[in-house]
């Protein structure tokens, strides 16, 4: 987890009001992913981490739907790039994380890790760290984005640009439908 210092303050806060919002946010990240990118996801059980990864898999144009890798530890999603999805929830120590050799997956793909707290110090130091926080209602999540280096800052910038473009298109099509039904 990044330190709350001037270097690693959250750079972006997005509000998700539904699972579909979380998937759309993940899709934007997936579209922006490049080989070597790492995304770390932190939050309580049921916070929406795997939903976000579902969107990421869609964003890389994978034909495989994302699912929680809790029991297999790592799932791979082929697409525009290969996305390795790792869940450290059942991993007991940093030594076990080291044995997974997750950094090797960055040579020809991107990496997303749920429950990264177990692997801190072993996981790539330059990662986009997302923290899921419960919002005002049951479905709402506040998602903070914290880049920890130059590579992850680039991913954040690209992701935000894609999200803004997608969000504008979704809102534009919604308004067009509303205008058609009211006339």
Q: To the nearest 10°, report the CA torsion of 92, 30, 156, 100.
A: 20
Provide the pLDDT confidence category of residue 3 given band limits of 50, 70 and 90. Answer: very low
Domain boundaries, the chain: 20-173
The CA distance from 48 to 23, in Å, is 9
- pLDDT tens for residues 45-103? 989 999 999 999 999 999 998 877 667 789 999 999 999 999 998 888 888 998 888 99
Give the gyration radius of the chain's Cα atoms. 16
Q: Which fold has domain 20-173?
A: Rossmann fold (3.40.50)
Measured in degrees and rounded to the nearest 5, phi and psi for residue 60 equal: -90, 5
* Of 44, 71, 42, 69, nearest in space to 54 by CA: 69
State pTM to two decimals.
0.85
Q: For tokens 């999805």, what's the residue?
A: 85
- pLDDT tens for residues 156-177? 999 989 988 877 665 544 333 3
pLDDT at position 170: 56
* Of 46, 42, 69, nearest in space to 138 by CA: 46
Give mean pLDDT, residues 118-146.
93
Q: For tokens 């473009």, what's the residue?
A: 165
């Amino acid at each position: 987890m990044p330190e709350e210092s001037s270097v690693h303050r959250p750079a972006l806060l997005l509000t998700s009001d539904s699972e579909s919002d979380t998937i759309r946010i993940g899709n934007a990240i997936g579209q922006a992913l490049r080989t070597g990118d790492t995304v770390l996801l932190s939050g309580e059980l049921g916070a929406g981490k795997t939903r976000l990864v579902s969107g990421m898999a869609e964003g890389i144009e994978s034909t495989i739907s994302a699912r929680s890798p809790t029991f297999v530890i790592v799932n791979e999603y082929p697409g525009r790039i290969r996305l390795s999805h790792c869940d450290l929830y059942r991993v007991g120590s940093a030594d076990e994380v080291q044995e997974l050799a997750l950094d090797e997956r960055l040579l020809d793909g991107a990496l997303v890790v749920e429950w990264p707290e177990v692997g801190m110090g072993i996981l790539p130091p330059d990662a986009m760290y997302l923290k899921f926080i419960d919002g005002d209602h049951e479905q709402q999540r506040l998602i903070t984005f914290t880049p920890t280096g130059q590579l992850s800052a680039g991913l954040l910038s690209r992701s935000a640009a894609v999200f803004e473009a997608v969000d504008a298109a979704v809102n534009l099509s919604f308004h067009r439908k509303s205008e058609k039904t009211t006339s």
